């Protein structure tokens, strides 16, 4: 690292330096050197590598949202709230999460937390980027957990903001264990998980009494980034009528092969929902056999949810965003219940 630039990064919370950082960033290009420089000031300064300008001195451009009358809990000094930010749409943030944003001295947030949500933090709050997106630079999980402990012991009011729900493939349980082992008080604030809310925005109900009595949520990769070794493909293929895979895009071929090899029908409907609940949301409808080729042909990118099962058919009638655009349902009876029996 160049010493002069290292000093600038190390003083990112200095208002005289902060105002100059955006101009510097305009001339930088992502790469190993920049990643290493950012990592060098990660935990020692309490600020992890960030794609967003630090906001210690940001100016609110709109009136803060007001909360309805309620006995709202206080985020006390030395406490950490582990909070879900929902799948992407800022309007899906819970009121408890918004209450926490209004009080926190420090917000430690993941890559999938949108900038608009961060705009609702206190104007003087420190925003700390933790990464946590597959294939992208991130702090180590153990370092993040210990940093939360350090901040709490320093008397900070800490909001740990995670995409979706912190306890649904969000490693919130690990962070909570570390906090409890170190005597830090905490509150868990659930969020809307992408496997439910994201599919709802695509017009796909994860449960429908004419289709399934169970739904299975599956992680598409393990701690090393590979396909989970202990997945029981036989149980998945023959179990719940609807399967929802998180973080499965990298291993879509293994998911396809594992399910079909265990007896799941090759023509089972599949939906891939990318950038769920955001303006950039895209939905691909395909089949289990064709999904890998169709994902590549459509240029679908993570973050994405993969839904397998006949619930995907309901999108033909429940695509409410299409209805808002004036598009009629493609099939008002996708399950065929009201169709006359074929003549014999």
CATH H-level superfamily of 43-51+74-192: Tetrapyrrole methylase, N-terminal domain (3.40.1010.10)
Given pLDDT bands bounded at 50, 70 and 90, which one contains residue 340? Answer: low
Asked if 247 is an active-site residue, the reply is yes
Given pLDDT bands bounded at 50, 70 and 90, which one contains residue 204? Answer: very high
Asked if 7 is an active-site residue, the reply is no
How far is the C-alpha of 312 from the C-alpha of 172, rounded, in Å?
Answer: 29
What CATH class does 195-324 carry?
alpha beta
How many CA atoms within 13 Å lie on the side-chain side of 290? 12
Residue 61: pLDDT above 90? Answer: no
Q: Of how many residues is the chain composed?
A: 344
Given pLDDT bands bounded at 50, 70 and 90, which one contains residue 342? Answer: low
Which pLDDT does position 341 carry in this prediction?
55
**How many Cβ atoms sit within 10 Å of the Cβ of residue 332?**
9
- Give, as one character, the DSSP assignment of residue 311: G
Tokens of 33: 């050197």
Mean pLDDT, rounded, for 181-203? 98
Which range has the worst mean pLDDT, 130-139, 243-252, 308-317?
A: 130-139
pTM (predicted TM-score): 0.80
DSSP 328-343: PPS-S-TT-TTSPPPP
Most distant pair of Cα atoms in the chain: their distance: 84
- Catalytic residue selected from 110, 126, 165, 319: 110
Mean pLDDT, rounded, for 176-205? 98
Which pLDDT does position 28 carry in this prediction?
32
Sequence-distant (≥ 6) Cβ neighbours of residue 273 within 8 angstroms = 198, 199, 201, 202, 204, 281, 282, 283, 284, 304, 305, 307
Residue 29: pLDDT above 80? Answer: no
Domain segments of the chain as ranges: 43-51+74-192, 195-324
- Catalytic residue selected from 126, 162, 247, 319: 247
Mean residue pLDDT across the chain: 83
SS3 242: strand
Tokens 């209805």 label which residue? Answer: 323
How far is the C-alpha of 21 from the C-alpha of 11, rounded, in Å?
Answer: 10
Tokens of 220: 């598409």
Asked if 1 is an active-site residue, the reply is no
Sequence-distant (≥ 6) Cβ neighbours of residue 121 within 8 angstroms = 55, 101, 102, 104, 107, 127, 159
Which pLDDT does position 60 carry in this prediction?
44
| CA triple 159-160-163, angle to 5 deg | 125
SS3 28: coil
How far is the C-alpha of 255 from the C-alpha of 304, rounded, in Å?
Answer: 14
Q: Are 202 and 273 in contact (CB under 8 A)?
A: yes
How far is the C-alpha of 118 from the C-alpha of 109, rounded, in Å?
Answer: 9
* Cα-based torsion angle of the residue sequence 233, 237, 239, 244 in order, rounded to the nearest 10 degrees: 90
Residue 26: pLDDT above 50? Answer: no
- Catalytic residue selected from 89, 105, 126, 132: 132
Handedness of CA 14, 143, 156, 174 (dihedral sign): positive
Q: Are 28 and 34 in contact (CB under 8 A)?
A: yes
Which pLDDT does position 138 carry in this prediction?
64
Crossing angle of helices 172-181 and 141-153, in 10° steps, is 40
The residue with greater pLDDT, 250 or 46, is 250
- Give, as one character, the DSSP assignment of residue 63: P
Which pLDDT does position 221 carry in this prediction?
80
Given pLDDT bands bounded at 50, 70 and 90, which one contains residue 242? Answer: very high
Tokens of 295: 């994902």
Q: Are 113 and 119 in contact (CB under 8 A)?
A: no
Which pLDDT does position 67 carry in this prediction?
87
Q: What is the pLDDT of residues 75-109, one digit of tens each?
A: 999 999 999 999 999 999 999 999 999 999 999 99
């Amino acid at each position: 690292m160049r010493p002069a630039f290292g000093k600038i990064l190390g003083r990112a919370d200095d208002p005289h330096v902060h105002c100059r950082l955006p101009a510097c960033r305009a001339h930088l290009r992502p790469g190993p050197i920049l990643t290493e420089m950012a990592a060098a000031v990660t935990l020692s300064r309490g600020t992890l590598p960030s794609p967003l300008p630090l906001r210690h001195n940001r100016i609110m451009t709109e009136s803060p949202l007001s909360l309805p009358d309620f006995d709202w809990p206080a985020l006390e000094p030395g406490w950490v709230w582990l909070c879900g930010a929902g799948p992407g749409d800022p309007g899906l943030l819970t009121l408890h999460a918004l209450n926490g944003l209004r009080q926190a001295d420090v917000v430690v947030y993941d890559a999938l937390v949108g900038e608009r949500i961060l705009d609702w933090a206190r104007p003087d709050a420190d925003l700390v980027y933790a990464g946590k997106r597959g294939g992208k630079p991130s702090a180590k999980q153990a370092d993040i957990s210990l940093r939360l402990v350090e901040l709490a012991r320093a008397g900070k009011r800490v909001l740990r903001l995670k995409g979706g729900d912190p306890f649904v493939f969000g490693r919130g349980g690990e962070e909570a264990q570390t906090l409890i082992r170190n005597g830090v008080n905490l509150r868990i604030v659930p969020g809307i998980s992408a496997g439910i809310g994201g599919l709802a925005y695509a017009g796909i109900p994860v449960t429908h009494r004419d289709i399934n009595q169970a739904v299975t949520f599956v992680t598409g990769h393990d701690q090393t980034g590979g396909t989970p070794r202990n997945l029981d493909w036989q149980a998945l293929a023959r179990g719940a009528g609807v399967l929802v895979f998180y973080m499965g895009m990298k291993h879509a071929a293994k998911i396809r092969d594992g399910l079909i090899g265990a007896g799941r029908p090759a023509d089972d409907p599949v939906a891939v929902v990318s950038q769920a609940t955001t303006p950039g949301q895209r939905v691909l409808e395909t089949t289990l056999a064709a999904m890998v080729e169709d994902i590549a042909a459509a240029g679908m990118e993570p973050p994405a949810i993969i839904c397998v099962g006949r619930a995907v058919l309901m999108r033909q009638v429940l695509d409410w965003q299409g209805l808002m655009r004036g598009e009629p349902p493609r099939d008002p009876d996708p399950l065929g219940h009201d169709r006359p029996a074929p003549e014999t």
